[in-house]
């Protein structure tokens, strides 16, 4: 890692940046993105307002960072688990589980995720914020499953991937009194049964 090579200076900088991100996350989670001001964030971080701009370009920049971070971590976690020779359906199940675990521990980003689309400039319909690589992970597993004959092929892989994506949305806003992870687990079961190739 580069971290070890960084001087004290650079390490301190990283740390401050992290503190700002943490503060942002807490505020976003508590009040929502648009109701959170940069002053709010920096006060929480116990830093001067102006300092913000030494680390980020804008409030939106923070959001972008948070989302990227989320995606990256999920992506990595999944890659590790794809190793063993499980069936694709099993892999999807595991993927959902890992994602759920991560989101459960970082619940706040999901609202961000969802609101991302609405809070910024006009984008091409349904384009919202990039979130590079979140759906692709799922998509690639699904396509492998379709080639293996495990998964139905009458529905495009993209579309199925979107359904997996929506599981987390649906669970995030669920009114049910079960845990987030259980919630995701049950929804995953429904979906897995729906996509399994019928003989």
Question: Footprint of a copy of itself on this chain (CB under 8 A)?
Answer: 30-35, 107, 111, 114-115, 117-122, 125-128, 155-156, 158-160, 162-163, 165-167, 169-176, 183, 186-187, 189-195, 198
**What, of a copy of itself, DNA, none, does residue 187 touch, CB below 5 to 8 Å by kind?**
a copy of itself
DSSP class per residue in 1-50: -GGGGS-HHHHHHHHHHHHHHHHHHHHHHHH-STT--HHHHHHHTTS-GG
For the beta carbon of residue 119, count every other beta carbon within 10 angstroms: 15
Residues paired with residue 126 on neighbouring β-strands, in sequence order: none
Q: What tokens does 63 get?
A: 């959001």
- Site residues (vs DNA, CB under 7 A): 8-9, 12-13, 16, 35-40, 46-55, 57-59
Residue with token string 């409030």: 59
Tell me the closest approach of the beta carbon of residue 141 to a copy of itself, in angstroms.
16
Tell me the closest approach of the beta carbon of residue 176 to a copy of itself, in angstroms.
5
Judged by beta carbon, residue 51 or residue 87, the one nearer DNA is 51
């Amino acid at each position: 890692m580069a971290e070890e090579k960084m001087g004290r200076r650079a390490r301190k900088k990283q740390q401050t940046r992290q503190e700002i991100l943490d503060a942002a996350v807490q505020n976003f989670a508590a009040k929502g993105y648009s109701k959170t001001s940069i002053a709010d964030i920096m006060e929480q971080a116990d830093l001067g307002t102006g300092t913000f701009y030494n680390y980020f370009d804008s409030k939106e920049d923070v959001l972008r960072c948070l989302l990227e971070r989320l995606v990256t971590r999920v992506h990595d976690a999944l890659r590790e688990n794809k190793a063993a020779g499980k069936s694709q359906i099993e892999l999807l199940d595991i993927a959902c589980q890992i994602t759920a675990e991560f989101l459960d521990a970082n619940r706040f980003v999901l609202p961000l995720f969802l609101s991302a689309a609405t809070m910024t400039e006009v984008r091409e319909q349904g384009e919202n914020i990039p979130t590079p690589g979140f759906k692709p992970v799922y998509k690639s597993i699904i396509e492998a499953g379709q080639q293996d004959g495990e998964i139905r092929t009458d529905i495009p892989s993209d579309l199925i991937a979107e359904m997996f994506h929506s599981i987390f949305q649906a669970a995030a806003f669920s009114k049910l009194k079960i845990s987030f992870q259980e919630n995701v687990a049950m929804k995953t079961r429904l979906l897995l049964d729906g996509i399994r190739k019928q003989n």
